[in-house]
Amino acid sequence: MAIPLIYNLRSVGKRWVSSIVAIAGIGGAVGVFIAMMAMARGFQATLVASGSVRNAMILRGGATSEMDSAIDRDQERTISDAPGIARDANGTPLVSAEVVCIASLPKKDTGTDANVQIRGVSPIVLQIRDVVKITEGRFFHPGVTELVVGRNVTLTIRGMNLGDKVKIGGREWDVVGVFDAGGSALDSEIWCDQPLLSQTFDRPENIFQSICARLQNPGTFQTVKDSLTSNPALTVDVMREVDFYTRQSQMITTVIHSLGFLVAIVMGIGAIFSALNTMYSAVSARAREVATLRALGFGGGSVVASFVLESLFISLIGGLVGALFALPVNGMTVSTINWQTFSHTAFAFQVTLPIVAMGIIFALFMGLVGGLMPAIRAARLPVAAALREL
Amino acid sequence: MVRVDGINNGDALIRVRDLDKTYRRGSEVIHVLQGLNLNVDRGEFVAFMGPSGSGKTTLLNLLGGLDVPSAGTITADGEQIEKMSGRKLAAWRARHVGFVFQMYNLLPVLTAFQNVELPLLLTKLSKSDRRRHVEMALSIVGLSDRMKHYPNQLSGGQEQRVAIARAIVADPTFLLCDEPTGDLDRKNGMEIIELLERLVAEHYKTVLMVTHDPIAANKAHQILHLEKGSLVEATKGN
């Protein structure tokens, strides 16, 4: 049987000052790690939530985002007639040909300008993007300079409340409605009538940047895709809307992940050294106790296991403390420029259970690395000499 | 019976032959033990005396398998230990040796009960059997009422008695006591010696004790002096 765990647990408590140093180091690294992962996760979730498996996004072939995509009117008609695309009660295809522009608008908190994405949509867009609900006011009337704004836009941009008038692209627009897109990236957008937006920003009248099409059901996606990609008159990329937004989130999430890992690794190395220091001093201070255990007949393996467990226990507390400190960022809303659309996207940090679990595993890894060498040293202490140490 | 002349006397419990132990200090070789012989029968109480640095503790460490000799053989209860691997030696110690140290060497974060239980964790005894053994060992040393006390809540004498309970709880073949009264006042020291005498007389234990204290040594059946790395028999009362 192994050296009783209670011996290690009580020893940690007895040497609490040095234990706290290691706990703080590991906790800090885990806290930063969890916060960064929660940020990446929040950003990704925000964008992914914008898409639906019931919708298909159609862009010019090879386009990486809506910004460098173009689809003309003829192509739009062909797309609308594709098999597998849903129609309303009147037989109108549920397709929204959209144009995306960027407007510089002052932020509420700092007064500095932020790039806000304005999406020119079809009047039937709410039947297609069913995640979007009008929560205040009403939807815009076609052909009228009216805007509906996302929830985050009213919160973060000046003069974007219901009833406000706002100047965009040389025209005065009325804010007639506020919509809730369920915490997705669409919440950071302003929507208006597509032909009017194209005119305002001097865009060609019959050119769109993307087509968002409602599928008859999620299973008809392949039919739509096959039909459009095999049509020689079209050069388009067809993807599920949810995949499109996942792709849109990739660059930023990769950057956040990379930065997160980098910071966590640097802090982790520091934390491992503090764990090493704590465990080496624990071994040194308890040399006589270790020698006594060896004299009683406990083997070297038991001593290694005992000190590694002690280090893991310290790191587990560190991990839990780090998670506890990172927890308040959960739900915290921040905004960033999405480099694929050049516009501000507000998103909330998401501290999920898998992220916390990853943080704890990271902590245990630091504990293992920080505890192993001192534990081996403990097992190799010369028993006879250590027994007489004071 | 205890002999130091290297002549076999039947079935001695401990048999040491031509034992050498040398240490290196820089280029200097220090011979601590040289050609040492010893036979100790079961149920003996032997005291080792000698000046500081004479090798008493070294001998005890070698007998307890905590150190390895430079030459010679050590046989205890029929097993030759000097060539055993570290793992085998640890298991052998757990089975055959009970240690009592000058500074008691109790683990400060464990209660008296938990300290005494430690050697039993290396056996296959069930939890209830372990409890029974620990309670019996603590009752032998007269500390049944101190089971839940931590070492810092006990006097020096009580701590040493807990250490003795720990040494006997797994019923080892022999006890090795390294100056067990060295850190105690006369009264407590004598209580410890009387306890060791009782273990020998009533429980037929074999005790090998290093001491500086002639009064403590006089309680042993046999006193052996370490001189120039070898043992010589001393007359009791000297």
Name the token pair of B183: 């850190």
Do the domain assignments include residue B78? Answer: no
Mutate to test the interface with B, among A3, A11, A290, A296 (most CBs of B within 10 A): A296
CB of B105 less than 8 A from some CB of A: yes
Interchain CB distance below 8 Å, B90 and A10:
no
Pairwise CA distance, residues B89 & B96, whole Å = 10
What sign has the CA pseudo-torsion B168, B170, B171, B176?
A: negative
**Torsion angle, alpha carbons of A354, A358, A360, A362, to 10:** 180
Least confident stretch, A7-21, A92-106, A196-210, A211-225: A7-21
Structural domain for B162, as ranges: 43-68+85-234
Report, as an integer, the average pLDDT of A30-37. Answer: 92
Q: Which residues lie below 8 Å from residue A373, measured CB to CB, with a gap of 6+?
A: A276, A279, A280
Q: Between A and B, how many residue pairs show a Cβ–Cβ distance under 8 A? A: 79
3-state SS track over chain B: CEECCCCCCCCCCEEEEEEEEEEEECCEEEEEEEEEEEEECCCCEEEEECCCCCCHHHHHHHHCCCCCCCEEEEEECCEECCCCCHHHHHHHHHHHEEEECCCCCCCCCCCHHHHHHHHHHHCCCCHHHHHHHHHHHHHHCCCHHHCCCCHHHCCHHHHHHHHHHHHHCCCCCEEEEECCCCCCCHHHHHHHHHHHHHHHHHHCCCEEEECCCHHHHHCCCEEEEEECCEEEEECCCC
At A299, is the secondary structure helix, strand, or coil?
coil
The residue to which tokens 């929507």 are assigned: A191
SS3 content of chain A, % helix, strand, coil (to 5): 55, 25, 25
**Contact at CB, A4 and B110, closer than 8 angstroms:** yes
Arithmetic mean of pLDDT, A310-334: 92
Q: Mean pLDDT for chain A?
A: 89
Confidence of residue A342 (pLDDT cuts 50, 70, 90): low
pLDDT at residue B238 in the model: 46
Residues 137-156 of B with CB under 8 A from A: none
**What stretches of A28-124 adopt beta strand conformation (E)?**
55-60, 71-72, 95-106, 113-121
CATH number of the domain at B109, please.
Answer: 3.40.50.300
Lowest mean pLDDT among A96-105, A380-389, B75-84: A380-389
Confidence band for A252, pLDDT divided at 50, 70 and 90: confident
Q: Which residues pair with A174 in a beta bridge?
A: A146, A165
Query: A293 — contact with chain B (CB < 8 Å)?
Result: yes
Distance from CA of B65 to the nearest CA of A (A): 8
Give the ipTM of the model, two decimals please.
0.90
Is residue B12 in some structural domain? no
The torsion of the CA quartet B91, B93, B96, B99, rounded to 10 degrees, works out to -150
Chain B residues within 8 A of A11 when measuring between CB atoms: 109
Residue B90 included in any domain: yes
Identify whether B106 is part of a domain: yes
Contact between chains at B108 and A14 (C-beta distance less than 8 A): yes
Ranking A239-243, A249-253, B166-170 by mean pLDDT, the lowest is A249-253
Tally of structural domains, chain B = 1
Q: What is the pLDDT of residue B86?
A: 84
Q: What is the pLDDT of residue A199?
A: 93
Q: A11: distance to nearest CA of chain B, Å? A: 6
CB contact under 8 A, B90 and A297: yes
Residues 6 or more apart from A12 whose CB is under 8 A from it? A19, A310, A313, A314
Q: Are B71 and B20 in contact (CB under 8 A)?
A: yes
Q: Do B121 and A294 touch (CB under 8 A)?
A: no
Asked if B103 and A390 come within 8 Å (Cβ–Cβ), the reply is yes
B28 burial via Cβ count (<10 Å: 0-12, 13-18, 19+): exposed
The H or E element containing residue A137 is strand A133-137
Is A289–B93 a contact, with Cβ atoms under 8 angstroms apart? Answer: no
Q: Do B66 and A384 touch (CB under 8 A)?
A: yes
Q: Which residue, among B59, B118, B178, B179, would best test binding to A if mutated, counting the most A CBs under 10 Å from its CB?
A: B118
B66·A293 Cβ contact <8 A: no
Residue B23 lies in a domain: no
Helix (H), strand (E) counts: chain A: 12, 14
Is residue B11 a part of any domain in this protein? no
B108 vs A: CB within 8 A: yes
- Residue B4 domain flag: no
pLDDT value of residue B119: 92
Among A16, A387, A390, pick the best mutation site for testing chain B contact (most B Cβ within 10 A).
A387
Closest CA to A244 of A51, A63, A86: A51
Interface check for B57 against chain A (CB to CB < 8 A): the answer is yes
DSSP string, A157-172: BTT-STT-EEEETTEE
**CA trace torsion A253, A255, A258, A264 (10° rounding):** -80
Task: Check A298 against B122: CB less than 8 A apart.
Answer: yes
pTM of the model: 0.77
Tell me whether residue B27 is exposed, middle or buried, using C-beta atoms within 10 angstroms of its C-beta: 0 to 12, 13 to 18, 19 or more: exposed
Strand locations in A162-261 (E): 165-168, 171-180, 189-193, 207-208, 210-214, 236-240
Give per-10-residue mean pLDDT for chain B (238 aa): 71 88 87 88 91 87 90 89 87 91 90 94 91 93 92 92 92 91 86 88 91 90 86 66
B98: Cα within 13 Å, side-chain hemisphere: 27
**Nearest residue of chain B to residue A387 (CA atoms):** B105
Q: Are A290 and A283 in contact (CB under 8 A)?
A: yes
Whether the CB of B95 is below 8 Å from some CB of chain A: the reply is: yes
- pLDDT for A30: 93
Q: Is B24 among the domain residues?
A: no
Nearest to A295 among B66, B109, B121 (CB): B66
